[in-house]
Amino acid sequence: MADTDRWRTLAHKIADETLFPNALDVDQGRQTPRANLDLLASEGFYGIAAPPELGGLGFGAYDVIADSLIALAGGCLTTTFVGLQHFGPVLSVAASPSTEIRETWLGPLCRGERRAGIALAGLRPGPAQVRIEPVAGGYLVRGETAWVTGWGLIDTLHVAGRDSEDVIHFLLLDAVESPTLTVGATHLMAVQSSSTVTVRFDDHFVPADRLTHSQPFAEWAGQDSFGSSLNGFLALGVASRCATLIGPSGLDDELARARTALLTAEPHEIPAARSRSSLLATKAATTLIVQNGSRSVLTNHHAQRLYREAGFLLVFGTRPAIKEELLAMLR
């Protein structure tokens, strides 16, 4: 069996034998079980996007990473949602121009010895929500960023913010509350046990050796499409699980077309491909909930969970272009 097939097979095995049987308990719990994340780490999924010399596939095998995400999200969206946050920091560290950053952080991140989340919502267009200013010996971070997932389950936070020259600085900091770093709970319609919070920085100091890289905001904004694709594969995971529970239907063909569209989309095509994937998840979840009838509204039924998750993925991590595509398709 080719190594790429091994990843796909392993993802389906974890999803079907461990994640899906416990997904309702996770959905109704207060925090994603560490055992789920430990399993992903021990089987190498925390480093799947890492360079091959560190046991990963790199992004030359993007289709395998996508298929693994689809399988795992179909097992338990909450667990996969927490684990997915780790991909960005791994890629950022792997590409860092700092040899010290790579040597210190990359191995532990790939092995899941360190587990990271992201704080990137402050990079939305418009006035900067998070400011990072260089000072003697490091940087001061100030402002507020929402959608920080996995708090209490991560030890590292990859945060980004703009300086007065509109340059973005990406920093690795310890995910620990302090007088200058505080968090507030977020209450979500789905994946509530993902421990997603809002983080507030009050001149929080980060040493200079925690900088992964810096980049002009305009340059970054032109490349900000990768995360949208990954969120699209989460939606396909929900749709795929619904299709399995529904039984033979035309959904399998639609899933194959949506997967191909996301994998092959040029940057300007990603909003449309992402939108189609999100709408397919809502179609599949609606079909499932109707097929199962009134028992679908019971909290111990997967249909209601998948229906809420599909709704969540319609709007989570969207950009104006995706919103416009969705509204146009809905009209």
| Model confidence pLDDT, tens digit, residues 186-216 | 999 999 999 999 999 999 999 999 999 999 9
| Model confidence pLDDT, tens digit, residues 76-110 | 999 999 999 999 999 999 999 999 999 999 999 99
Please give the class, per CATH, of domain 3-111: mainly alpha
pLDDT band at 1 (very low <50, low <70, confident <90, very high): very low
Kindly tell me the sign of the dihedral angle through the C-alpha atoms of 229, 234, 237, 243: negative
E strand or H helix at 131: strand 130-135
| Model confidence pLDDT, tens digit, residues 118-159 | 999 878 777 889 999 999 999 999 999 999 999 999 999 999
| Model confidence pLDDT, tens digit, residues 219-272 | 887 665 566 788 999 999 999 999 999 999 889 999 999 999 999 999 889 999
232: left (phi over 0), alpha (psi -120 to 50) or beta: alpha
Tokens 């709007």 locate to 315
| 94-to-47, 49, 97, 99 alpha-carbon distances in Å | 11, 10, 9, 10
Enter the DSSP assignment of 154: -
> Where does the chain hold its CATH 1.10.540.10 domain(s)?
3-111
Regarding pTM above 0.85, the answer is yes
> Where does the chain hold its CATH 2.40.110.10 domain(s)?
116-221
Among 31, 80, 10, smallest CA distance to 231 is for: 80
**CATH architecture, domain 116-221:** Beta Barrel (2.40)
Check residue 94 and give its pLDDT: 92
Among 54, 35, 48, smallest CA distance to 6 is for: 48
Average pLDDT of the chain is 93
| Model confidence pLDDT, tens digit, residues 269-299 | 999 999 999 999 999 999 999 999 999 999 9
